[in-house]
Structure 1
Amino acid sequence: MATHYTAVATANGRDGRAVSSDGRLDLALAAPREMGGDGEGTNPEQLFAAGYAACFASALGAVARAGKQDVKDVSVTAEVGIGGDLESGFGLSVVLRIELPDELAGDTGRALVDQAHRVCPYSNATRDNIPVEIVIE
């Protein structure tokens, strides 16, 4: 596979900073309150959720355009859960909530979402590694 782009970011833990090599991303990191942190910054799960949602929406747009469908009003929400412990290891789970325009309800929308799930890099990276549930709303 030819690489089209490489993103580079450096972080120093859940309570620190994450900075991209070009400086466009510079975020305070903090563990969420639910995990004992102060919640005063973003966390890796939020970053993963934002990336997956944006990437899936982009993949959905690409397959829709190829099929001459309009998905400009689509919305993708990614819910990323974390669980586990130090003994057994930590793991992630994802629920993708896709809101499609009314004209793509039913089989047509489901086919586009399934195709997007096959081409999305995040979906390909997570497939058979973590549970990913797709909900069309």
Structure 2
Amino acid sequence: MASTRSLQPLVATARRAPRPVARLAAKHVIRKQLLNTDTAPILYSAHAKAKGARTGRIEGDDLKVDLVMAKALEGAGDRGKTNPEELFVAGYGACFQSAMNASAAALGTKMPTDSEDSVVSTTVHLVGDMEKLDMGIRVDMKVSIRGLERDRIEKIVEKAKEVCPYIRATRGNTTTNVEAVQL
């Protein structure tokens, strides 16, 4: 209790980061969802076992993936094998694109039906200092949708940022940069 009181003056004087100005029409205001992940109903569960770290194997119910240390990290970088960053980037991009599709529908926008007309190109960067064991990730995405104006794509992206489970899970720990471009 005493430690909480001692922090109150610091909290009271702390500068808050400026909030971004909402660019969406009033009927499309994005509300922060306060989901309690400890008590929310489970919609789906995936399970995998990692053996041998970055040079081992991942096994799940319908998943068998051989891992290799990336050449950039002084590993073998064998073809036919992958690494944790590639697995993360694949899941993140697919999840964000699903969030975009749901967000577009919520905003009354029809997404293209051809998969080549809606593309999320995602790059995950392993950043930091390996020697000091101080590492993290940064994510860059480029979102392209054929047939939609850039401002419409940006509205879909902004809504998707609020609902994508990957962005929500990494918010506050990982920088995710999303750029909207027209195809």
In the superposition, the TM-score normalised over structure 1's length comes to 0.92
1:32 aligns with 2:70: yes
| 1:111 aligned residue (133, 155, 174) | 155
Identity of aligned residues (%): 35
Number of matched pairs: 134
C-alpha deviation, 1:106, in angstroms: 2.5
SS of aligned partner of 2:158: helix
Aligned position for 1:60: 100
**Structure 2, gaps ≥5 residues long:** 1-39
CA RMSD of aligned residues (A): 1.2
Shift of 1:116: 0.4
**TM-score (structure 2 length as normaliser):** 0.70
Identify the residue that residue 9 of structure 1 maps to in structure 2. 48
Moved over 4 A (4+): none
Is 1:98–2:143 an aligned residue pair? yes
1:42 partner SS: coil
Deviations along 1:45-80, whole A, 9 cap, x unmatched?
000000000000000001112223122321111100
Superposition deviation, residue 88 in structure 1: 4.8
The 8 Å contact of residues 56 and 67 in structure 2, kept in 1 or not, is answered as: yes
Which structure has the larger Rg?
2
Whether the 8 Å contact between 2:143 and 2:179 is mirrored in structure 1 is yes
